[in-house]
Amino acid sequence: MAWHERSRITAWAVALLLAGCASSGDGPPSDVLNVADAAIAGGDPDMALSISQAVLNQQPENVDALYHEAAAYYALGRCEDAMAAYRVALTLAPHSATAETGVGRCLLKRNAIEAEQAFAAAVADDPDNAVALNDLGVARDLQGHFAAATAPYEQSLLVAPGMKATEVNLGLSLALAGQAAEAMDYLGPLAGGTEATARIRADYAVALVGAGRLDDARQVLSTDLPPDKVQADIDAFTTLLGHGPGDAAQAMNLFGYIPPG
C-alpha cells in the first residue's frame, strides 16, 4: 500500500481516536502524536500538521502537540509558523530546550547571532542536550568563531559519543580553523566508512586541502564528481581556506552543516 493511501487511512483512524478522547474527557493518547512523528519521517508533514492541530483544537495548551505542530511547519519550510508555535510553547514551558532549539534552527540560516542566543538558552536549560550543543557549535561556526565552536561540539560528543553529525561538523570546523591534522582525525574514518556520504567526503577533502594533500583530496572527491568538478572544488576549498573567517563561514553553508538525525 502506498504511503499516501496509508496516510488517508491513518488520518481517519486518528480522527476517531480524537473523537473518542473528546467524548470521554481523556487527553489524546500518545499514539496519536506518535503517528505525527511517523508522518514526518515518512515524508508527509501535512498529515503531521493536521494531527497536531487536531489535538490542539481540543487542548490548546498541549505543549507536546505544539512541538509536533512546529516540527511539521519546519518540515514544510514554514519557519515563521514553526517559530510562532515554538514561542507559544515557551509561554507554557519557559525553559523548554526543545522549543529554544527549534527557534534556533529556524534562525540559523538567516541570523546566526540570534540562533546562537537561542541555542545557548537551550544549553543553559538542558546542559546535557547533545543536539542543542551541536547546533550551538554550528551557529558559532557560521559567524567564523571557530575556537568558540569547539567547546560545545566536544561537550556534545561527551554527552552522546559517536554522534556522527557532531563529529562531521567539528571536523569541518577544525579544518576551517586551520587545524587540518585534528580535522582529519575526525573526518578520515567517517569518509572511509560504509555510511559515508558525498558531503562527508567533501568535508574530508577540505581538511586534506588544508594539509596540502591535494592529490589525496582529488582522489576523495573523484568518488562523487567528474574531473572538471573535482578541480573546481579543489580551487574553491583553497580559496576559502586562504581567506578570513567570513569566507570560511560560507563554506559551512556550502559543505558542512549536518543536523542531528
DSSP string, 4-31: HHHHHHHHHHHHHHHHHHHHHTPPPPHH
pLDDT score, position 61:
94
* pTM assigned to the model: 0.83
**Burial call 11-40: b when 16+ CB within 10 Å, e when fewer:** beebeebbeebeeeeeebeeebbebbebbb
- Decide: 56 and 62 in contact? Cβ < 8 Å: yes
What does the chain come to in residues? 261
pLDDT score, position 17:
55
Contacts of 203 (CB under 8 A, 6+ apart): 168, 171, 172, 175, 187, 191, 255, 256
**pLDDT tens, residue order, the chain (261 aa):** 444 544 454 455 555 555 555 444 455 556 789 889 999 999 999 999 999 999 999 899 999 999 999 999 999 999 999 999 999 999 999 999 999 999 999 998 789 999 999 999 999 999 999 999 999 999 998 888 888 999 999 999 999 999 999 999 999 999 988 899 999 999 999 999 999 999 999 999 999 999 999 999 999 999 999 999 999 999 988 888 876 555 555 555 554 555 554
pLDDT score, position 261:
45
